[in-house]
Amino acid sequence: MTEPRTSARNTLSLKTAPTLKPVRKGQSEDVIVIGAGAAGLMAAMTAAERGKSVLVLDHASKLCEKIRISGGGRCNFTNIHCAPHNFLSDNPRFVRPALKAYTQRDFLKLVESHNIAWHEKTLGQLFCDHSANDIIDMLLERCSSKGARVLGQTTITAVRSLPVQDENSPRFELETSDGLKSCRNLVVATGGLSIPKIGATNFGHRLAQNLNIPVTPLRPALVPLVLQEDDKEFCKAISGLSLPVRTSAGKQSFEEALLFTHRGLSGPSILQISSYWQPGGSIRINLLPGEDIPALMAADRQSKKNVSSILSNHLPNRLAKAMADKHSATGSMTETGKKTLNSLIEGLSNWQLTPAGDEGYNKAEVTLGGVDTRSLDPATMECRDHPGLFFIGEVTDVTGHLGGHNFQWAWSSGFAAGLGV
Ligand code: FDA
């Protein structure tokens, strides 16, 4: 690969603080990884296993917090069915080479080689039996046993590209709270914007933009939805209730559980569809997926029982009553007119809602959008126009479905960069 020769230091201009501690000249590394999360540690250990000198920098005092809180503390670390169609991106084919080169079975082998007990929960989702800490310990142990150093509580205040002298000379210089550092390859693994209180920042997105690498629009995904006032009141009255449904937006559908909340809707089926929902647009819910709802209603058409009591043969009681009331089907089945019944059937099978918004990055599991993957080499994650600079994991415009796919992208893209550096 030919590299542009620069005669002077070229600032990548990610100056985030005007004043710095006095810098001391540090040893140059083959690889510096910014972000000690899932993707960063996978890249670090892969590169270190190849004999590269690796330094991982993270500003957080407690490392790997997202792994620790994932999967309710048990980390849904991959999905046995993971495939390219489980990812959203403006450039959908991009994920293929990396997912193929490092699969869910490869990660599972690694987990098993560390004697981590695991189980499949549902829909191919693999979780630790004991704790997400098992995955963190494995990654950190793997890094340290191969000599990759991981430094927390380190703020990076500037990144500069250096003039290229020869094929081994450092290409990047970082000003950090731990002094000046330089490296031949820089891997950016700073993740998405969700859960800012545990260290999420837009560092990677800003760095890309400063280098004229496009960033696709960012928004929360895998996130609960907030409803308009009337629908919100409806949900509030039955909050806490959960049932299996089919949610749809456009042509995309998911059959998983829905949870009514005080502010709207949550649960896996809603988190999934939130990634496809366009703000201002609507979603559809089938409360009885797999059932022929008109036939169910027709079977009881001559019943003297209340509509809500007939519905409660198929739905939780509170929801049956709330749906019957919502569609003014308050009397017995025989007393209910055709128009009312049709409205109820439509409400049960194709309930259309226009969410007012989502619960934002404090509640979102991931960020939709990111560093435009058309700027990256799909085999290595290296920037096409900036040799030695890599973007991996959630900071890229690759967003997985719920169920272990986001971690699989972190492992696969981290592995690709670990081999590419
Ligand atoms: P990640 O966010 O893991 O790491 C980024 C690192 O960069 C962090 O350590 C951060 O401190 C550091 N950083 C950020 N800015 C920096 C800066 N300016 N300077 C230095 N360091 C900086 N996925 C899944 O597959 N299964 C699951 O069970 C779950 N569960 C889950 C629960 C919850 C509550 C959330 C919020 C998310 C999940 N996810 C998930 C998603 C998953 O956690 C996420 O996609 C991956 O952690 C992404 O890995 P990355 O390494 O790209 O980013």
> Each residue of 191-204: pLDDT tens digit?
999 999 999 999 99
Contact in structure between 215 and 370 (CB atoms under 8 Å) = yes
**Ligand 1 atom nearest 407 alpha carbon:** 25
72: buried, middle or exposed (CB in 10 Å: 19+, 13-18, 0-12)?
exposed
156 lines ligand 1 (CB under 6 A): yes
Residue whose CB lies within 8 A of the most ligand 1 atoms, among 176, 193, 365, for a mutation test: 365
Task: Determine the pLDDT at residue 164.
Answer: 84
**Ligand 1 atom nearest 154 alpha carbon:** 20
Whole-number Å distance between alpha carbons of 33 and 379: 18
Packing angle of the helix pair 229-237, 317-326 (nearest 10 deg): 150
Nearest CA-CA partner of 417 in 6, 4, 56, 2: 56
Task: Determine the pLDDT at residue 168.
Answer: 86
Residue ranges for the chain with pLDDT beneath 70: 1-26
Alpha-carbon torsion angle 320, 326, 327, 331, nearest 10: 60
361 lines ligand 1 (CB under 6 A): no
Secondary structure of residue 392 in the 3-state scheme: coil
Task: Determine the pLDDT at residue 88.
Answer: 98
Q: CB-hemisphere CA count at 13 Å for 86? A: 21
Whole-number Å distance between alpha carbons of 88 and 80: 18
Whole-number Å distance between alpha carbons of 239 and 316: 12
194 lines ligand 1 (CB under 6 A): yes
Task: Determine the pLDDT at residue 26.
Answer: 52
Task: Determine the pLDDT at residue 195.
Answer: 96
Whole-number Å distance between alpha carbons of 399 and 366: 7
399 lines ligand 1 (CB under 6 A): no
Contact in structure between 41 and 150 (CB atoms under 8 Å) = yes
Per the structure block, which two tokens stand in for 2? Answer: 């030919």
36 lines ligand 1 (CB under 6 A): yes
Task: Determine the pLDDT at residue 387.
Answer: 96
215 lines ligand 1 (CB under 6 A): no
- At residue 34's C-alpha, the angle toward residues 156 and 68, to 5°, is 115
DSSP string, 343-361: HHHHHHHSEEE---EE--T
177 lines ligand 1 (CB under 6 A): no
Prediction pTM value: 0.94
Q: How far is CA 419 from CA 21, 165, 239, in A?
A: 34, 23, 48
Whole-number Å distance between alpha carbons of 109 and 49: 16
User: Which residue has its alpha carbon closest to ligand 1 atom 35?
Assistant: 365
Q: If you measure from the C-alpha of residue 40 to the centroid of ligand 1, how many angstroms do you get, rounded to a whole number? A: 10
Whole-number Å distance between alpha carbons of 300 and 26: 79
Q: If you measure from the C-alpha of residue 363 to the centroid of ligand 1, how many angstroms do you get, rounded to a whole number? A: 13
Residue whose CB lies within 8 A of the most ligand 1 atoms, among 187, 190, 409, for a mutation test: 190
Q: If you measure from the C-alpha of residue 250 to the centroid of ligand 1, how many angstroms do you get, rounded to a whole number? A: 29
Bridge partners of 70, per DSSP, are none
